[in-house]
Amino acid sequence: MSTTNGHTSGQTIYLGAFAHCTALQEVEICEAGAIGVDSDGKIAFIERDIGDIPAYQLRERKEGWEHAKFVQIQDQGFFFPGFIDTHIHASQYPNSGIFGKSTLLDWLNTYTFPLESSFTDLTKARRIYARVVNRTLSHGTTTACYYATVHVEATNLLSDICLSKGQRAFVGRVCMDQLSPDYYRDESTEAAIEATEACIAHVSKIDPKHHFITPIITPRFAPSCSEGCLSALGKLAKETGLPIQTHISENKSEIELVAEMFPSSKSYTDVYDKAGLLNSKTILAHAVHLTPEERALVRSRDAKISHCPASNTALTSGAAPVRVLLDEGLTVGLGTDVSGGYSPSILEEARQAILVSRHVAMVDGDAAKLSTEEALWLATRGGAKVVGLENRVGGFEVGMDWDAQMISLDVVSEDGELEDAQNKGPVDVFMWESWPDRINKWFYGGDDRNTAAVWVKGRLVHATPKYRG
Ligand SMILES: [Zn+2]
């Protein structure tokens, strides 16, 4: 038995249907599976078809698993890998849905900076951060890349909360030493670096090997950082080997602003490259309007892209050409970009990725359309690659961690009621649907009411009252 933050997790065999992405265009579905997870939360074996074998017999057949407990799928559901949110502003969570008709630069001044600047109040910070972690876990997000604020104490609190609630997280203290309001900015480059180092030191204390929490170097975006600050952060990234997250090429006015502010750089991408901020551990959010030269530069540095379609539509930023990005060999995941994006759900983001791809297709042709399988890939395997955890999470493979969600779908009875009166999910299954159709019905109609339980590294981190029994 091992303990994770005081929560014991023994050997467990997960029984029932499971589905996961095995290629960009492919979802593997096993209707009668069994997945054994060891006491460290790692997948030890996968049986793809156990047929009608009773559970106890399966346990007896596996040497050393005689005392394993079972978790049986509920209703007509399936296990699915946890979602990975590659771009979310934890501090902006209370503003979800509040953006009016603003676009990026006025949205920042009207809604975002006033809220973020208030995180000197740690009681308020705790309330917001605890809620956003609970909420994203309830939507099946097992890994999140968070932007916090400029405040060291509040950022450290976010790391503490993620660790105690069991969510895998990249936590970034936001750096911004220019073109920001006087009431909310770093006083100098030195102050930005010192504060970032303090947050890195805190994570070294609470999770030295970064099993769950990794600090991430976070220049807000080029316009709010001086060249000196960007270069100092690039140097810090090189010294520490830590990942980097920032925004790029989200909105046309922003791109013009970057060209004015950084006249010696060839492009927005070049600003980051010159500062040493473009490498294989860099997560670039949005990338809506990158030129072919910029995309080639991103690819040559093996930097990753977080596609945030809900936010890009809400703030009228543009429609990112995801098919082009994928065809050119770029690594893409999904980001909710709360609160530019209105929803903390990666399932909602995956739907928005599909719809945005349809709008791109109306101009560029049908090849731009993403399929359900592709959107699920972006939400899991793609996201895992973006955050550098593709060997640990995003799918079900022996040796990977059990970061998973139990999806439950409600069955309609003969009289048109639900077979289980406790269920109140939005998806109705009539039982004539094929398994791929059931997954499509969940994809387009499902929400957190269908997410019955969520595990990170084998630890149960969220469960609906019905699952808990
Ligand atoms: Zn953002």
pLDDT in tens, 437-462: 999 999 999 999 999 999 999 999 99
Residue 87 alpha carbon to ligand 1 centre in Å: 6
pLDDT at residue 2 greater than cutoff 60: no
442 alpha carbon to ligand 1 midpoint, in Å? 27
pLDDT band (50, 70, 90) for residue 9:
low
Q: How far is the CA of 220 from the centre of ligand 1 (A)?
A: 8
Return mean pLDDT, the chain: 95
pLDDT above 90 (res 175): yes
Distance 96 CA to ligand 1 centre (A): 12
Give pLDDT tens digits for 300-349.
Answer: 999 999 999 999 999 999 999 999 999 999 999 999 999 999 999 999 99
Res 467: pLDDT: 84
Ligand 1 centroid to Cα of residue 69, in Å, is 41
Q: How far apart are CA 303 and CA 292, in angstroms?
A: 15
Q: Given pLDDT bands bounded at 50, 70 and 90, which one contains residue 6? A: very low
Contact criterion met (CB below 8 Å) for 147 and 89: yes
Buried b (16+ CB within 10 A) or exposed e, 110-140: ebbbebbbbbeeeeebeebbeebbebbbbbb
Q: Which residue has the higher pLDDT, 105 or 395?
A: 395
pLDDT for the residue 434:
96
Domain range 83-386, CATH class = alpha beta
Q: Are 46 and 295 in contact (CB under 8 A)?
A: no
Distance separating alpha carbons of residues 111 and 340, to the nearest angstrom: 10
Bridge partners, residue 47, by sequence: 34
Nearest-Å Rg of the Cα atoms of the chain is 22
Rounded to the nearest whole angstrom, what is the distance from the C-alpha of residue 230 to the centroid of ligand 1? 17
Ligand 1 centroid from CA 264, angstroms: 25
CATH of 2-81+396-468, one of 2.30.40.10, 2.40.50.140, 3.40.50.9100, 1.20.1260.10: 2.30.40.10
Q: Tell me the DSSP string of 42-58.
A: BEEEEESB-TT--HHHH
In this predicted structure, what is the pLDDT of residue 469? 65
DSSP state, residue 380: I
Start-end of CATH 3.20.20.140 domains in the chain: 83-386
Distance of CA 24 from the midpoint of ligand 1 (Å): 25
pLDDT at 223: 96
Arithmetic mean of pLDDT, 37-53: 95
- CA of 322 from ligand 1 middle (Å) equals 18
Residue 459 CA to ligand 1 center (angstroms) comes to: 29
| Residue-level length of the chain | 469
Q: How far is the CA of 183 from the centre of ligand 1 (A)?
A: 20
Tens digits of per-residue pLDDT, 340-370? 999 999 999 999 999 999 999 999 999 999 9
pLDDT at residue 8 tops 50: no
Does pLDDT of 121 surpass 90? yes
Percent of the chain surpassing pLDDT 70: 98
Neighbours of 241 (CB within 10 A): 8
User: Would you say residue 239 has pLDDT above 80?
Assistant: yes
Parallel, antiparallel or unpaired: strands 141-147 and 168-172: parallel
Q: Residue 258 corresponds to which amino acid?
A: V
Using the mean position of ligand 1's atoms as its centre, give its distance from the Cα of residue 285 in Å: 7
Q: Find the 67 Cα to ligand 1 centroid distance in Å.
A: 46
- All CATH 2.30.40.10 domain ranges in the chain, comma separated: 2-81+396-468
Per-residue confidence at 5, pLDDT binned at 50, 70, 90?
very low
Residue 333 Cα distances to 243, 307, 387, angstroms: 15, 6, 9
Task: Compute the distance from residue 311 Cα to the ligand 1 centre, in Å.
Answer: 8
Cis, bond preceding 317 (omega within 30 deg of 0): no
pLDDT at 322: 98
Counting residues of the chain whose pLDDT is more than 90, the rounded percentage is 90
Per-residue model confidence (pLDDT) at position 221: 97
**In a 10 Å sphere around its CB, with 0-12 CB exposed, 13-18 middle and 19+ buried, how is residue 432 labelled?**
exposed
d(CA 413, CA 311): 39
Measured in Å, residue 174 CA sits from the centre of ligand 1 at 11
Distance 340 CA to ligand 1 centre (A): 7
- 404 CA distance to ligand 1 middle (Å): 26
Q: How far is the CA of 358 from the centre of ligand 1 (A)?
A: 23
Distance from residue 147's CA to the centre of ligand 1 (Å): 8
Span from the CA of 81 to the centroid of ligand 1 (angstroms): 24
pLDDT (tens digit per residue) in 206-226: 999 999 999 999 999 999 999
Question: Would you state the pLDDT for residue 33?
Answer: 96
